[in-house]
Amino acid sequence: MGSPVDVELLHGRLGPEPVLEVALAPVLLDAVARGDRGPVLRCYRPPPTVAFGRRDTFLPGFASAAAAARGHGFVPVIRAQGGRAAAYDEGCVVLDEIMPAKDWLTGIQDRFAREAQRQAQALRGLGIDARVGEVPGEYCPGAFTVNAGGRKKLIGSAQRAVPGGWLLSTVVVIQSAARVRSVLESVYDALELEWDPATAGAVAEEAPGVRVDDVEHALLSAYTQRYRLLPASIAPDALTASLKRVARHHVPQ
């Protein structure tokens, strides 16, 4: 194994606006892919958000689903990555891993598998029977879901790749199972997508007493096995570029 790769750690969110949070990730990806900055790992606790995939927006019930999200106190946004609708709030952690890559079109499945195993190992260190694999009936289904005992979804990931780099974005539900289940029931009903609400879990349900801080620390510690995490801040130009992108992610009322 070679020396750890230096990776900028961006810790914390920009503010209360979910649309700005989702706009920042593709801005950082484009900068990394161009070679304007080095690899990035962003870790933050998001405001209440329902992040829709682009294909959700083509469904007849999308406007109703967005309204349902707002009715539960969640802001609907359109994310750059793939997948179906996912919900998260301050009781969750979002990790955006952004890396340069010449082989950006290959290795997608390997990246999903590698990061899911890393995350599952981190949760096992907290006493959770964490496994990798799709839970039948889960929301935003994926083969590399991190689940609890094959029963409940705890972590989901999505990717975006552009020439020169890739973004793997992960959502970890820690203390928000009931709230996530409730909003997703309304959202998926409006989208007319079938799922089983019983499959939506949270880390704290599996390990009572585990806090968001505990999970965040465990996950970041797992990344230090491969990366040298260097604390950094979001540059003003990245914030400016994100503000220019928000229209792409905004869902009108």
What average pLDDT score do residues 179-201 get?
Answer: 97
Judge if pTM exceeds 0.85: yes
How many angstroms separate the CA atoms of 202 and 11, rounded?
22
pLDDT of residue 231: 96
pLDDT of residue 2: 63
47-102 tens-digit pLDDT? 999 999 999 999 999 999 999 999 999 999 999 888 899 999 999 999 999 999 98
Is 80 exceeded by the pLDDT of residue 1? no
pLDDT of residue 14: 86
> Residue 170 forms beta bridges with which residues?
95, 157
pLDDT of residue 36: 95
Q: Which range has the worst mean pLDDT, 112-116, 150-154, 232-236?
A: 232-236
18-45 tens-digit pLDDT? 999 999 999 999 999 999 999 999 999 9
96-130 tens-digit pLDDT? 999 999 888 888 999 999 999 999 999 999 999 99
What average pLDDT score do residues 216-240 get?
Answer: 94
Which whole-number Å values give the CA distances from 105 to 53, 136, 156, in the listed order? 20, 28, 21
Q: Are 122 and 216 in contact (CB under 8 A)?
A: no
pLDDT of residue 104: 84
pLDDT of residue 152: 97
Q: Are 88 and 173 in contact (CB under 8 A)?
A: yes
DSSP for the chain, please give it.
--PPEEEEEEES-S-S-HHHHHHHHHHHHHHHHHTSS--EEEEE-PPSEEEE-GGGGGSTTHHHHHHHHHHTT-EEEE-SS-SS-EEE-TTEEEEEEEEEETTTTS-HHHHHHHHHHHHHHHHHTTT--EEESPPTT-SS--TT-EEETTTEEEEEEEEEEETEEEEEEEEEESS-HHHHHHHHHHHHHHHT----GGGB--HHHHSTT--HHHHHHHHHHHHTTTEEEEEE---HHHHHHHHHHHHHHB---
pLDDT of residue 16: 85
Which whole-number Å values give the CA distances from 125 to 2, 65, 104, 178, 209, in the listed order? 25, 37, 31, 24, 14
Backbone φ/ψ region at 106: left (φ over 0), alpha (ψ -120 to 50), beta: beta
Which two structure tokens, joined as six digits, stand for 9?
């750690």
